[in-house]
Structure 1
Amino acid sequence: MEAVSARGWPPLVCEQLGDWRLHASRGYSGRGNACWPIGAPDRPLDDAIEAVEAWYRARSLPPLFRPADLPATEALRERLAARAYGPRTETLVMTGGLVADEAGGVILADAPDSAFAEVFLSTAADPEDAAERVEAVRRLAAPRAFARLEIEGEAVAIGAAAVDSGWAGIFGMRTLAQHRRKGLARRIIAGLSAFAAEAGARRIYLQVEASNTPAIALYEGLGFATGYRYRYWTRG
């Protein structure tokens, strides 16, 4: 799951340190600017941490680690804590089956258009962070689909999916504030599920911050459950 989700959010730059993946973009979204310690590094743990720190410093980015809260990363998390790192932004990795709900009106495309980007940017608190996320969405690997719903010709809800190894990752779910709580996100996921089934996916995964209780309630209502969690480890 970690390997699939790492491939599912392509950064501008990706290098490897053994089984660790080093992602770098423009410094905003965590997934696009963090070390993903998926397996074992190619050197002793402290040396690997120092190599990651040097790699990010060379790119004028703060060192950031994204270990899953699983037994396999316990030693790394202990070493990070000993080096004055601390965790933030708890995030759930939720999984579930394809959603066979009503998807009436969902428009699917194989690339994000200006309407998709406009909804994404207009619902963001930080425009620079949102712009980096839109760039990442544009890099999603095929097979992929971009969904939107329109009301009176205006795009009001969006989402994207990319299929890899039987999994469909769901990304970029956004709804304009004045159109929330109308079931639009549910229809978007149903439309993306139909695409995913045709592309060979059997299951869906998505990532949502633990503080986003409305989104978690939506996903749980669609049958999704938390598989595991991760947090970002950084200094300061």
Structure 2
Amino acid sequence: MLEPHILEPLADDAWPARERARLGGWRLNASSGQSMRINACWPLAAPDRDPEAALDAVEAWFAERNLPPRFKLTDGVVAPVDLAQRLAARGYAACKTTLVMLGQLRDVAGGEGDAAIRLSDTPDATFEAVFTATAGNPEDGRERLEALGRIPAPARFARLDIDGVPAAIGASAIGGGYAGIFGMRTVPDHRRKGLARRVLRALLAEAKTLGAERAWLQVEADNAPAIALYADEGFEPGYRYSYWVR
């Protein structure tokens, strides 16, 4: 099973923030403040200064951008190891635990030949319309769409049409022999029809052709239906991360 110290840098590069910086092994990401992943510090290795000085610098960096400071603490790669205690002493607490699931592409079901699914290397206007319609918060949807547009090549964007009308979408980022799955969305009127499964299979089949051997995805730890779907498609729990906020 893939170690988080290998996957987390790939995950950071696959879903790039608008603005990025480093403090040694700490990665700082800032966008519009909506999606936590691209608006947080990822302390994946030792910082380039004393930990308390690094915390001060992170808080100042986010304050300069009018964003609340956030930290993404991942099982097995937090540096220093007592960072959670240091954050708690400053008034931070953990929230929004996310599960990273992993799969071997040879073990997941194939999705070749699904004529209803269209694949492209950029998110077109129709893809964006479905994503926006299912976002809930327009600002959050806009920020995530911008992030989708920054996924480095080769990226793939899948759209499934029902009776000529877009019904479900998803995206993938390929890097380091791995496929990361993002942006899985289904229009409300078409949910619980197995469309997400078909989109996932098409993305994974395409990832094989692009040289990926494994796949990973992130799902909120309390989203039991999604976890069950991915498990049924060959994905297994890998590790977890949580955000720390004031």
TM-score band w.r.t. shorter chain = over 0.9
Correspondent of 2:61 among 55, 67, 73: 55
User: Do the aligned residues in 2 keep the contact of 1:106 with 1:148 (CA within 8 Å)?
Assistant: yes
Whether 1:24 and 2:30 are equivalent positions in the alignment is: yes
Unaligned 5+ segments in structure 1 are: none
**In 2, Cα distance between equivalents of 1:199 and 1:46:** 43
Q: TM-score, normalised on structure 2?
A: 0.92
2:119 is aligned to 108
**How far does the alpha carbon of each residue in 1:24-74 deviate from its partner, in whole angstroms, 9 at most, with x for none?**
001100011000111111011111111100100011111110010336444
More displaced, 186-195 or 169-178?
186-195
The offset of 1:6, in angstroms, is 0.7
User: 1:176-195 residue pairs with structure 2 within 5 A?
Assistant: 176-195=187-206
The offset of 1:117, in angstroms, is 1.0
**In 2, Cα distance between equivalents of 1:27 and 1:57:** 12
**In 2, Cα distance between equivalents of 1:42 and 1:117:** 39
User: 1:119-158 residue pairs with structure 2 within 5 A?
Assistant: 119-158=130-169
The offset of 1:115, in angstroms, is 1.1
Q: TM-score, normalised on structure 1?
A: 0.96
2:39 is aligned to 33
1:9 is aligned to 15
2:180 is aligned to 169
CA RMSD of aligned residues (A): 1.2
Q: Kindly tell me the number of residue pairs found equivalent between the two proteins.
A: 235
Q: Percent identity?
A: 53
User: Do the aligned residues in 1 keep the contact of 2:101 with 2:216 (CA within 8 Å)?
Assistant: yes
User: Do the aligned residues in 1 keep the contact of 2:160 with 2:169 (CA within 8 Å)?
Assistant: yes
The AA in structure 2 aligned to 1:100 is A
Summarize the Cα distance change of 1:131–1:96 in structure 2 as closer, same or farther, 3 Å threshold: same
The AA in structure 1 aligned to 2:221 is A
User: Do the aligned residues in 2 keep the contact of 1:95 with 1:206 (CA within 8 Å)?
Assistant: yes
Unaligned 5+ segments in structure 2 are: 1-6
**In 2, Cα distance between equivalents of 1:45 and 1:181:** 47
